[in-house]
Structure 1
Amino acid sequence: MKQSFTVRQGALDGIEAFLGVAKHRNFRRAAAELGVTPSAISQAIRALEARLGATLFIRTTRSVGLTEAGAGFLSRAKPAFEELIAAGETARDLGRRPAGLLRLSVPRAVLPILLQPLIASFCKAYPEVEVEIATSEELIDLAAAGFDAGIRMGQFIAADMVAVRLTPPFRLVTAGSPAYFGANRRPQRPDDLRHHRCIRLRRSSGAVGSWTLNDNGRAIEIAVAGPLIANDFSTVLGAAIEGVGLAQLPEPIAAEPLRTGKLVQVLAPFAPTAPGVFLYYPAHREIMPKLRAFVDHAKSHSPAMRRSRTKTA
């Protein structure tokens, strides 16, 4: 049966006083070093001895020495207390400046188009911060999984999160390969998609998402079907390029294949607009300097900020 351990309140009381007296073998000098009165040191030692149930010092009018119990206690308490002080200094240091491990949960598709240049410039600007990127399509609990922040499309971020825009809103484009259209007619209306092979995306909730299109400002849902279901846009993109079927993709992800002719866009008048990509983190958590530095860096280096500057100029 597993035991339940708790740290008693005041378990460390008197340790610093004990170490001071053990160091100087003198109550008065220990008190001066700690900035307290000799009587306060004596009271702290007596309380510690009472709590431990052992006498730690041999006191005479001329000297102070350690008992066997005191010597044994010193051999283990001194390095443990020093380690505790060092741990406190490390924590205090991390709370004052950008340093330590910054863990980010990121969809695979945003890495090449957004995050790689952002991470490269951030690592150069903040060499004391280690960045760990975990690619996942899952909408995970950041705190429970030990992540400092995540990156997702805006419509998938919970309302209790702080969201920082990284990209402007963008369209979701419908596209297929030239080989696919060599064997299939191009759809002219959203309803035509029911007669096409479509590559679908399984959302983190487990549901296979329908496609949303925009018909003169009215959002319409189309239940498409096809031979492949994937859980990330990178796989959907690759399958579309190979001619497996039509895909609905964020325009930044599809931009290069559309430019080079590997994909052909269809149903352009019906393309809906997505909110864009956001960095997000829990609103209730105190933000550490490493995350604050990354948030500020993302704000100043993101495509959304660059576009804003271009418009201003």
Structure 2
Amino acid sequence: MKGHEMQISRADIADLTYFMTIARHRSFSRAAIELGVSASALSHALKALEQRIGVRLLNRTTKSVTLTSAGESLITAIGEPFQVIDTAMEALNRFRDAPAGRIRLNVAVEAANLLLAPVIPEFMDRYPDVELDVVASNRMVDVTDAGFDAGIRYGNTVPEDMIAQRLSADIRWIIVGSASYLDRFGTPEQPHDLLEHRCISNRLGDDRIYRWELECEDEEIEIAVPTSITVDQAETGLNAVLGGAGLMYLPEPLVVSYLSDGRLIQVLPKWTATGDGFYIYYSSRHQLPTGLRLLIELIRDRRPMGL
């Protein structure tokens, strides 16, 4: 009967946006961070939506959030129409005097410090209505499922199904230690000497411990160094190296200033390696936000890490 037909309201549209974000993250807290609202506000909005439509969309426990059958059906039905709306709203930036909107980036920690930080002040001055939300983490995540517009990683770790653009030159990796450490324990002369030293290892984004890959002319070796400390952020290890804790294999741009002032000394200078630089990557399924395109253009123009 017509009197029982369900009509969508503006409140429903807002709550459906909340529902889609929660469903993507399977978490109220992570969805709240993306949306910029409190988790309790999301919970109230979802309860109100479920009450209005008379159907439960989510199963909520203290440990998990899952979709009901009705929730799965709704996601399938509204996903594409909402994507069309997002694309149409982003297209309006062409008619504005200045671009606006929010850009969420998941960025390797070294890229955040060496690549993004130098250009952010100029970007803010140029585009004050664009909000940058940067999550700096070396843990690999699915940027699309996690609600990010793009990720920035070393090129060899970029997922193959993404569109990628280079943002930096290739990066040279070198072994460094402090003068105080080398005075105490001596200086390695050959790669196998590293096995007798205190070394600080990197945990990769997939939880593997990095084996040092060294090159000298045509020779390549891979060493599982004895690990005194394992870190998941190079800056943590760098601070330990500066304090005399041991040797570490690091991106040269991260330590060049310490080499210049003598606080660090390069070890085994003939044994280095050059790896992929940083790339920004994003899904081909979504329109590139104007603000993100402008950020890419600025980085490629200013070249804080070469290109």
TM-score by length of 1: 0.68
Which piece of structure 1 moves more, 136-145 or 95-104? Answer: 95-104
Distance 1:188 1:138 in 2: 34
Q: Is 1:302 the counterpart of 2:303 in the alignment?
A: yes
Describe the SS at the equivalent of 2:145: helix
> Percent sequence identity over matched residues?
32
Q: How much has 1:243 moved relative to structure 2?
A: 0.8
Counterparts in 2 of 1:2-41, with a 5 A limit?
none
Q: Is 1:211 the counterpart of 2:212 in the alignment?
A: yes
Contact 1:164 1:299 in 2 (8 A): no
Aligned position for 2:66: none
Aligned position for 2:92: 96
Aligned position for 2:177: 176
What CA RMSD, in Å, does the superposition of the two structures yield over aligned residues?
A: 2.8
Q: Is 1:115 the counterpart of 2:111 in the alignment?
A: no
Distance 1:187 1:199 in 2: 15
Aligned position for 1:166: 167
Letter in 2 for 1:52: G
Aligned position for 1:196: 197
Q: How much has 1:272 moved relative to structure 2?
A: 0.5
Distance 1:131 1:81 in 2: 28
Distance 1:206 1:89 in 2: 38
CA gap of 1:240–1:180, structure 2 versus 1, over 3 A, is: same
Aligned position for 1:246: 247
Distance 1:90 1:210 in 2: 43
Contact 1:200 1:228 in 2 (8 A): yes
Structure 1 residue runs of 5 or longer lacking an equivalent are 1-49, 55-72, 309-313
Distance 1:130 1:165 in 2: 23
Aligned position for 1:52: 3
Letter in 2 for 1:125: R
Aligned position for 2:69: none
Deviations 1:4-42 (A, max 9, x none): xxxxxxxxxxxxxxxxxxxxxxxxxxxxxxxxxxxxxxx
Larger Rg: 1
Distance 1:94 1:174 in 2: 46
Counterparts in 2 of 1:282-293, with a 5 A limit?
282-293=283-294
Contact 1:226 1:245 in 2 (8 A): no
Letter in 2 for 1:95: A
Distance 1:187 1:265 in 2: 11
CA gap of 1:90–1:142, structure 2 versus 1, over 3 A, is: closer
Describe the SS at the equivalent of 2:292: helix
Distance 2:260 2:186 in 1: 21
Q: How much has 1:256 moved relative to structure 2?
A: 1.0
Paired residue total: 235
Q: How much has 1:81 moved relative to structure 2?
A: 9.6
Contact 2:214 2:221 in 1 (8 A): yes
Aligned position for 2:224: 223
Structure 2 residue runs of 5 or longer lacking an equivalent are 16-81, 94-98
